[in-house]
Structures are given as structure tokens and as C-alpha cells.
Structure 1
Amino acid sequence: MSAWSIRVPLLPDESISSWLTRSAIAQGCDPLVLTGALWPKWRIWTTDPDRGIEPGRLRALARASGIPESEFLSASLRPVIEAAAGRPLVVRSSWPWLLALGSRNLKRQGGIQYCQACLAEDRTPYFRAQWRLTWHVCCSKHGLWLSDRCPFCGAPVEPHRLEAHDGSLATCATCKATLGRSCADMAQPVAAALQQAADSAVKVKHASYGDRLLPASDWFKLIRHFVVLIRRASAHPSSGLGRAMRLLSVDLNAVGAVSPGLPVELLSVAERALLMQGAWQVLNAGEHQLMQVARDTGLSTTAISGCDSAVPSTQGPLPSLAQSGRRQAKATRMAITKPRPKRSVQIAWAYLQRRFRSTLR
């Protein structure tokens, strides 16, 4: 394919999907037309372009756009997610800490996050790569809660479904309203604090937990472990674990409204914000206070760390508790017989509701 007549530069922290959509509109065509001409045998919009583009297709994109391959590699979210996950990522699987789109042909079950103030003040509206990260729930510049749906029609934000005549990425592909017209609420400082700490952990490759310095991947495992504890406590608020989380200032009443069973990568902005704020409260309490609260409330090792929690291999009491919890949880699983537990039914129902919502559009 020959070089495009209009060259569109990548903007600071712009996601690849945002740039592809902007490039198509600048050329006077729909995103589907542009990518179809560039890759005739590949339907890129049924995948997630922000994960990165494989080398052969990337070379074709670099030739057509006039942008070096290295810039697209830097715009990919793979390095960020690998730093958080601490392991190589499998292409054909979900990635931890990356918001899942739930692609079904061209439609998405999950919308792209955005800051209404950013889109309103951008000379050229575009979507930031950081808005795709699970721990991002508020705008680091304006301090507003992020949105992932149109405030006017409630549809997921799907920029790739825009048409050439829409002219701007700050447009809802469903109802054509301007996304930057409404005003979001100010975010809680706790949510911004965890977000800033997570961004720093990815950048410098380590983060603090109490007086210890952990590799970034272990720190993120710890955050996910605390999210598991909080969700477990919200399901049984009168249990010892529930009492422990309340002693650590976690709002279990609010967390109880979070969709049961769905991983954090599939949750809404508001739901993730509640879990991230709770995780930050537990993290700030420190390991020794967590263990003291556990002892004061008579928690068992299974309650404080179960088989679904990925506790990092740090020095201290958490690893031994995690191992004990895994052994007990494994024995419990072997003993389960019909009927299915209530929670497993709730999880299946949450997935079914998510899929059902996408079929209604």
C-alpha cells in the first residue's frame, strides 16, 4: 500500500486504536475502510489493537503512515502489562490489568474509558493509552472520574465505529452526542493515590509495602490479593474477614454492589474504583496491622488467603498463610457436591447479564 496523502502523528500517550480512528477520519474514510485497505485479510477491529500489532502487519502500517515501527511499539500496552504481570503474555488470552473490550464482531461489551474534560479541551480529541489500564479510574490531570459509556444514551464508547463525517473522536458512535459536553464528578483522593502508586510501580519496576520494597509484579499481585479479600468479605460482611476489613476502613456496604464473580478487568469504572480504594486502605495499613486485625477477629488462614489469591513470595507471614490456605481450599473443593454453591451461580449469572446487554444493542 502506498503512503497516505495525509500524515497523522501519534499524540502523547495516544492509544493505537485512537490513532487508527483519527487517521481514518483525517483521510476522509471510515476506520473499517482504512484498515480493510491496509490489511485486506485481517479484521483488526475484532481484536484489541492496543495490545500491539504483529511485525509483518506493523511494517505495512509504518510504510503507509510514515511513522517508524518503534513509535507504534512504544504506544503498545504490552510492556506496561508485562511489568505489572511479571511474565510474558499470551496473545490469544485475556491479559491481567488490561480492561477487556468483549469484542463481538465490531461491537464491544465494554467501552473505552475517557475523561470528559480532556476530550473537551483537546484541540484534537484523542484517547489515552493509560485509560485502558484497570487501575485507572480517574483522570490524573483533572481529578475527575473516568467514564466508559456515553452520558446521553448509555452505550459503550466505541470510537472505531465512528464514520468519516463524524469528524471527531469526541463523538458517541451510537447517538452522535459530544462526549465532552457533560461534566463528571471529582474523584476520591484514595482512588487517585493508588492509581499514582501503580503508575510509578510500572515505571520504576518496584513499589513499597510497609518498610519493604517489592518488585512491581509482586506489588500488583498483592493489590489483586487484597481485592479478593475485600470481595470475599463483602459477600459475608458479618464474618471475621468482614469485621477485619471494616477495622481497616473498607466500606463493605458499597463494595457489596459490585458484580459478583466478574474479574476486575470486566467491571465498570465505579465498581473498580470501590475495589481499588479498598485495596489501598488495606495496603496502607501494612502487613503487621493486617495480621494483628486478623488475630483480633479470630480469622483462620483460609479466610485471610485462599487458593484464588496470588500472594507474592515476600518475607513475612503472608506466604505461609497463603500456602496453608491453598491446601485447605483444595480439600474443600474436592468435597463440594451438587447442588452448585450460590456464589458459582452468581458468577455465571453476572457473565450472562454482561453478554445479554451486548445483544440488546
Structure 2
Amino acid sequence: MELSVSSSDGFRVTVTAHRRVLAARSRFFAEKLAGVGGRPGRPVAVEICECDDAEAYVEAVGLMYSGDPRRSLAGEDVDKVLGLLKVSVDIKFDDGILACLDYLEAIPWSEAEEEKVVSTLGKLQIQQVCEPIRGILQRVSVEPSTSVNTDSIYLGILDGVLQAKDKKARRDMKALIARLLREDVDQSNMHCNKIEISRETLYRLCHKCLDCLLQLLSEAANFGEGQGDRASLMGEVAREADNVQWLVDILINKRIADEFVAVWADQSELSTWHSKIPCMYRFEISRITAQLCIAIGRGQILVSKDTKISLLRTWLEALYEDFSWMKRACRVFDKKLIEDGLSATILTLPMAEQQEILLRWFDCFLSKGDNCPNIQRAFEVWWRRAFFRQFTGDQDLSQPQIVVSDEHT
């Protein structure tokens, strides 16, 4: 028999095949060829028109001649096998369907291929292959029992990173987990059923790190001669501060850092112990304050003026004192970014607080110079607000201001 296959774009191919083979392997061809007899010297002609992939039909016919279709697919790419699967379904080629499903279950997929596999298998409505399809999709599907425990899984992963012993592995995993969580935020509008780490889990870890940091600082402040390795203790302080920075970065990216600003502003005891430690050991803690001010200045964290005032009253002096060590010792340090964030945060406060903070900064800057954040921009804006563009707070803005003059033009 002659089989002609044409696609909607005009591509056409004709192959010669044995009707006995096609009828035996495909229920579609068995139905079409039943009772059809060819004339002597003229083979039966079958035509399939307007198909999506004419080449895949020809490949499927060739697969019918294989004694082991699954082995015949070895080395083929995923796209080709998905095309063969769709054609095998259309022509009811059961051995071809099972061979394609076995192939998809056995080989690894790239992320791009994964999307195609899931999409194609999700559209197949064939009762007899439901179990094989379900088995294949177990690679990417989350079982209900796993979903229930998702938060505990997240907690275990993040806590494991925070407690990691190897510095390089810890740093690499922090970068990886932070990137994956950022991708979750970026794709939140695309995956309505996406499972996210809960706010409660992140804040539980934050409080755990803060408690640990408080304990370490109190030990460091009371450290005496002959009590052990001071450098090791200070290394733990820096490590725990880095842990808090990492968690805060996650909170900021997920737009849920507002509560942490209040928590950090309320750390008066931690701030007191912080002041008793030499700057060279404690500057990583001030990076947390800088991190929050940058996010507030960018509008990534929305908190009340009272919370911002409390934050700066608790931690701003410490940031001034630690700034020179932050510049000197931080592997990644953007001086302008910190100064812009600090300036923007201060300028959102009432004028009385702006004045108090900026006059205090003025004295500090004249004394320390470049070892203090340069927030001249905020000082300039406050100056103009205070002396040039004075706005009286009790001025009635509910009515238009009309000036009456006796002069006539």
C-alpha cells in the first residue's frame, strides 16, 4: 500500500508500506483498511491530510516495523519522541505509545523539555496509559503528603544553611537558595498554585538568629583573659550577623520585611552589648541597619514614621561608628548606596526628627570625615525645607488662598 501524509503548510510525503504490518500494529489503520482490497498491480492508497507533523507520521510507520520500539528510540531527542507519542495516540499505535512513555520515564529532561513533557502528557486522555503517565509525572508533581510538610522542609533547608560548617559550601548554598526564592517571587503571577515559604517560618529563623547573636555579644562583652579563643567567638558573631543579613534579604525580596524593621528597632539590649565590642568585630551587625535603610529608601519596605524613628535612634550611632570598618573590611560594599538609602530614610521623617538627626550627623561628619556616611544630600534638602521653602503645618489647605489688593491694573 501507499501512504501519503500532508501537513497544513503544504508539505507532503509518500511512503510504501505493508498493509498487513500497519493493520496489525495500529487500530486506526486496521479500521481504515478493513474490507479494502487493491487491484492487481495497483496498491491500496491511503491519504492523511492536514496533520500537524507529517514527518512524525512517517517515523511512526517506520517504528511499526521494529521488534523493540523502545530500543529503537534510544538516542532520540525529547521533542521527536513527543511528536511520535502524539501521532501514536492519533493512529492508536499502542506499542508506540508505550515505547514513547517508557523512553520519557527513563531519560533526564532539561527544564525546557520538562515544560513540553508535562504539557503534552497533561493533554493525553487515554485510560489504559493513565498509570504510566502518572508514574512519569511523579518526577515533577508534589504529593499531597509532601505539600503538607512543605514548610518544615523549607525550615530544615534554611536552618541547615544557617548552621553549615564549611564556609564555602555555606556561601554557595546561601547564594543558590536566595536566587531560587527570588525566582519564586518573579514567577508568582505565573504559578497561581505555587507553594511558598511562609512568613512565620522566616521570622522564626530571624528570631532564632537574633537570640543567638544577643548571647554571643553578651559573652564577647564579658570576655576575660584566659577564657578561651576570643577570635573564634568574634567569628561566630560575624557569622550570625551574616545569617541575619541573608534572611533580611529574603524578607525584602518577598516584600515582607516590614515586621523585621520593628523587631530590629526594638533590639535595645543587643544595641547596648554591641556598643561594648570593638568596631573591628561588630561592623557586620551595622550592615543590617544599612540593609534596611537602603530598602526603606527604595520603597521596598513600608513602615510608619514612628518605626523609622525608633530604628534610627537605636542603631544610627552604631552605623556611624562602624562605617569605616564596613568600608575597609566588607567584601561587597557600596558606599553611595548606603548613603542614598540613609538620606532617603531620614527625609521621610517629620522636620523635628530630620533636624535632630542631621545636626548630629553634621557634628559627626566634621569630626570623622570620610569615616562617617556622607549624607549631604539629605542635609541640603532639610536646609531648603527649613529655611527657604517653609511650610506652616497649621495652614488651612481646605480653602483656596486669596490675596486681596487695593492696586488696580
Q: TM tier, shorter chain?
A: under 0.3
Q: Structure 1 length normalisation: TM-score?
A: 0.24
Greater share of residues in helix = 2
Q: TM-score, normalised by structure 2?
A: 0.22
